[in-house]
Amino acid sequence: MRRTTLPLVIALLSILLIASPGFTQETEPLEPEAVTEQEAHEDENAEAAKHEEHGESEGHGGRHLHKNDFAIFVGATDEHGHETELTLGLDYRRQVANRLFVGVLFDYAGGEMRNSVLAATLTWFPVGRLFVTAAPGIEFHEGRRPRPGCDCGGTLKSEEPGEFGFFDEDATYFLFRLGVGWQFPIGQNFGVAPNVNVDFVNNEKVLVYGFHFTYAW
């Protein structure tokens, strides 16, 4: 019995002696650099989970897409046959899915344009900060006098002194806007977004371009 037990004990001791260096190596404390790297990785995961909890999507360049976005638009409207006019507007959008937003916009082109636009918006961020917008809506057009030689047509509005020439009439049109832009973040909440849009309205194409100055939360 002893002869059988002794080789077995020796074999077990040999296995333990062989395994002990590897075991010691595996349980060896992490080096300071490795600990720092592991902590940084854990912090990144915690931050990502925090943003996900608040309904934010990862954006390009380390800046997240917030759930709400409010913007002031400053730009211009360029319509064939008329001067390019200053255009001001407001835009709000809210995230409804990953990188997808719905909202509403209002803008006004003054001067001889005298057009107001109210539209619902669907905005998608396909890659990084690049966004594409589709917006069906209504254009409220105020009557105006066309420039000489623009061949705009129209009807005579008044024969009173000081009101002469041909004017078009007040009208309301269905409008569909397609646009593209790029969001540049400024800090965690502010940003600026140059964008170009085309309005399809009354069988015409009207170019609207400028900058959105945004606040997101």
List of residues 6+ apart from 210 with CB closer than 8 A: 73, 74, 75, 76, 87, 194, 195
The predicted model gives 126-153 an average pLDDT of: 81
Per-residue pLDDT, 62 = 46
Least Cα distance to 167 among 147, 144, 150 occurs for 144
- Supply angle C-alpha 6, 10, 12, rounded to 5: 115
| Confidence (pTM) | 0.65
Contact 101, 120 (CB under 8 A): no
- pLDDT-based confidence at residue 47 (cuts at 50, 70, 90): low
Residue-averaged pLDDT of the chain:
78
Annotated domain spans of the chain: 2-56, 64-145+160-216
Average pLDDT over residues 26-47: 57
Confidence grade of residue 194 (pLDDT, cut at 50, 70, 90): very high
At residue 204, the 3 state secondary structure works out as strand
* Of 109-113, 130-134, 147-151, 210-214, the least confident: 147-151
pLDDT of residue 149: 56
CB 129, CB 177: distance < 8 Å: no
| pLDDT above 80: residue 14 | no
Q: Where does the pLDDT of residue 34 fall: very low under 50, low under 70, confident under 90, or very high at 90 and above?
A: low
Q: Looking at per-residue confidence, does 36 or 73 come out higher?
A: 73
What's the CA gap between 101 and 107, in Å, rounded?
Answer: 19
Higher local confidence (pLDDT), 6 or 184? 184
Res. 113 pLDDT band, cuts 50 70 90: confident
| Topology of the domain comprising 64-145+160-216 | Porin (2.40.160)
What would the two tokens of residue 79 be?
């319509």
